[in-house]
A and B are shown apart, each in its own frame.
Chain A
Amino acid sequence: MSRAAFVISSVIAATVVARAADIPLDQRRSDSDFISADTRAIQNDDTANPAMLAVLDGETLWNTKAGATNKSCADCHGDAEKSMKGVAARYPAFAAELGRPVDLEQQINLSRVADQKAEALPFESKELLALTAYIARQSRGMPVAVKDDAQAKPFIAAGRAIFEQRQGQLDLSCAQCHDDNWGKKLAGNPVPQAMANGYPIYRLEWQEVGSLQRRLRNCMSGMRAEPYDFGAPELVDLEYFLMWRARGLAMESPAVRP
């Protein structure tokens, strides 16, 4: 073996060794395990959790007629406490009409456009977040259970590839922090495992409710990478992978995070 080839193969070997495996299933912990007891107390008290204001707005929107059909969500889906129970725990999910998965926000918009003949709500709009928070609230306590059948697998794999891909000027991958170094500190704060079981979240830093896509774009900016646009298929694949990775954990939506 030439000297150059030896160096290259050593580098490849080192890269493979440096990359730790997935977090073992029994060692996975919700991100709420890594936040302060005070923040956790806010999350778990419906009279203190500020995302409950969005949930109440969402309940109003659920019952508000919209679009050319002049129908509300409730006109078809009835009582969300029954019909939407467990739904958020199963998203992202495959949308046959698009031939690829969509997240909960996108599914709400698909239904608005197709069934209500209304305009899609913009990403991160107050209305879309409120509806998402209201629907996701109905799954609180239920285990994350996204489908991982043959149809879903390529998209989960694509999400994993992004999760493990070094990116940005800092040349970091998501996995380097959240698989390999969770529990350690970054700028004084514990690095969580990046489990996606609480979205949409009320982030104290934002002082408002935001989606998982917003959070992912945040992290990408932090790595000084170019964030994917809202609604980009790459973001949905990443969301799908993160939810699959959090399978079995109890839903906490709407969670509160620092």
Chain B
Amino acid sequence: MARALIHVPATAKKGDVIEIKTLISHVMETGYRIGVTGQPIPRDIIDDFVCTYNGEEVFHAKLYPAIAANPFITFFTVATESGTLAFSWTDQHGATQVQTAAITVE
């Protein structure tokens, strides 16, 4: 679907608060703009973002047309155990893109 950039620390100590950064390419067309032909440009946005940590949801966001293109979402979570963080972006048409990152917790 789109190009995404994810930053998750490769290793962390148990109990550490870790910062996670995600960036995905998307036009986030609001639906409120008028194109060169005078017709409205149809809305086209990502409207849902979820992060799960070994299957458990740790962050969830709803996105609306006011979010700028190429949404950059950053948040914190607590490093509890080694495993996988999965990130999923869903657009208004229901198409989902999933990307994962591994973390080792000592």
Q: Which residues of A contact B (CB under 8 A)?
A: 42, 45-48, 50, 52-53, 56-57, 204, 207-208
Contact = CB atoms under 8 A, between A and B. Distances in A.
A46 B23 CA distance: 10
Contacts of B92: none
Interface of B: 3, 5-7, 21, 23-25, 28, 68-70, 72, 74
Contacts of B23: 47-48, 50, 52-53
Given A53-B25, A207-B68, A47 B7 contact: yes
Q: Is the interface of B mostly helix, strand, loop or mixed?
A: strand
B66 to A, nearest CB: 12
Given A47-B5, A56-B3, A57-B3, A207 B69 contact: yes
A55 to B, nearest CB: 10
Scoring A45, A46, A47, A204 by chain B CB atoms within 10 A of each residue's CB, the highest score goes to A47
29 contacts: A42-B72, A45-B21, A46-B5, A47-B6, A47-B7, A47-B21, A48-B21, A48-B23, A48-B72, A50-B23, A50-B25, A50-B69, A50-B70, A50-B72, A52-B23, A53-B3, A53-B5, A53-B23, A53-B25, A53-B70, A56-B3, A57-B3, A204-B68, A207-B28, A207-B68, A207-B69, A207-B70, A208-B69, A208-B70
B65 to A, nearest CB: 13
A52 B5 contact: yes
Nearest to B26: A53
A46 B72 CA distance: 12
Contacts of A208: 69-70
A47 B101 CA distance: 14
A95 B3 CA distance: 34
Contacts of A50: 23, 25, 69-70, 72
Nearest to A130: B3
